[in-house]
Amino acid sequence: MKKRSIRETDVTGMTVLVRVDFNVPMRNGTITDDSRIRAALPTLQMLGGSGAKVVICSHFGRPGGQVIEEMRLTMVRTRLSELLGAPVRDAGGPSGETPAQVASALSAGEFALLENLRFEPGEEANDAEFSNHLASLADIYVNDAFGAAHRAHASTVGVAEHLPAVAGLLMERELEILGKAMIADASTSPVVAIVGGAKVVDKIQVLWHLSEKVDTILIGGGMVAAFFVAKGHSGGAALVTDEDAAAANGLLESGRADAIIPVDVITAPDFSERSPATTCEQSSVPNNQLILDIGPATAKKYSEVISAAKTLIWNGPMGVFEWQAFAAGSEAVARAVAANKMATSVIGGGSTAEIVGSLGLVDQITHVSTGGGASLEFLEGKILPGVAALDDAP
């Protein structure tokens, strides 16, 4: 169902509450990747340029409803101000009287940022009082935090019950591109999904939903062990439950999308960066070895399938990509996706985005989602609470 967009909303002279996802990685007080802040700039710039008074809000980390000094948004506010080229006031809070005082003092085109929403216990509890407090700060609510859309919190769901609620430009783009990628027709086929992950039970709903929507699924990650067991082979030293094997077998026997599993894998005796790597055929994985990556023959086969696709959806690494000995599969897939210039390519958030980012391939991907858990649940076919709460388009 299409949601109302900020594009269709007159915000001139209005105070607008914008939910963003500024949960950026930070080390020693320094932001190590500001891509989530940059992703929100088009919406914020549009609002400021349209004469709105903009109150921005975000969570950061998991403070558990308590004020933790290391989780304040001071550095985020400083970086946002630099990127916007305009001052961003400290709106304090997130509860109390200060936010309303700062919001009321804003002039058209000015910005303020609330303190970490999760300092307030009512945020994650979707507390009615805190939701009402957030709504009291503005005339219109804009959700541009796709990365938090799978959470039913006060700032994603509760506030939308009190204000006109519309999608920001980033939210709109996420929903449009992810939605289109899930439609297989003459113009988009073949649609190829590449799915990795540690356990098949963690991804089975994604796999099952995708099998109804795409033409081919390429399987990688630790869950390969369950598919090997389902085929009557050894899954190595990984603990493969009957439930895992049954789920894998169900997908292989479903007659839906063509699910392709590795023909070879990289194994190691221990889950360690320094553990010696060995290439094993699908049918000959030793019982005392862990599967930590897809093998070179599989990487070549997967790359060939990827090169012929018109639509590519990738969620989850092919192996333990953080360790160089087990990164080749993920890197090969990333390069193959980037090399297919004819395809619409969509990368799920989290680790998958980290892979293409580390290889400098982001600019060669159609869309790198800002949502890890949100994009995963979207691919499962779930209704995201933060999206459902927005006003429907007329």
DSSP SS3 for 200: helix
Cα dihedral sign for 299, 301, 307, 311?
negative
Angstrom distance (rounded) from CA 31 to CA 375: 23
Residue 373 a catalytic site member:
yes
Cα distances (Å, whole numbers) of residue 45 to 42, 50, 282: 5, 8, 52
DSSP string for residues in 220-271: -STTHHHHHHHTTS--TTS---HHHHHHHHHHHTSSSSEEE--SEEEEESSS
Check whether the bond before 94 is cis (ω within 30° of 0). Answer: yes
List 199, 221, 236, 316, catalytic entry? 199
Cα within 13 Å of Cα(270), Cβ side: 5
Residue 382 a catalytic site member:
no
Contact criterion met (CB below 8 Å) for 167 and 3 = yes
Residue 13 a catalytic site member:
no
List 3, 19, 36, 77, catalytic entry? 36
Contact criterion met (CB below 8 Å) for 112 and 106 = yes
Cite the DSSP H helix spans in the chain: 35-49, 74-84, 98-105, 121-124, 128-135, 169-181, 200-213, 224-230, 242-252, 296-307, 328-339, 351-358, 373-379, 385-388
Q: Which of 199, 44, 174, 37 is nearest to 109 (CA)?
A: 44
List 158, 316, 349, 350, catalytic entry? 350
- Taking the CB of residue 32, how many other CB atoms lie within 10 A of it? 9
Residue 300 a catalytic site member:
no
Token pair for 292: 């930590």
DSSP SS3 for 335: helix
Contact criterion met (CB below 8 Å) for 375 and 207 = no
List 51, 109, 373, 381, catalytic entry? 373
DSSP SS3 for 136: coil
Catalytic residues: 36, 199, 350, 373
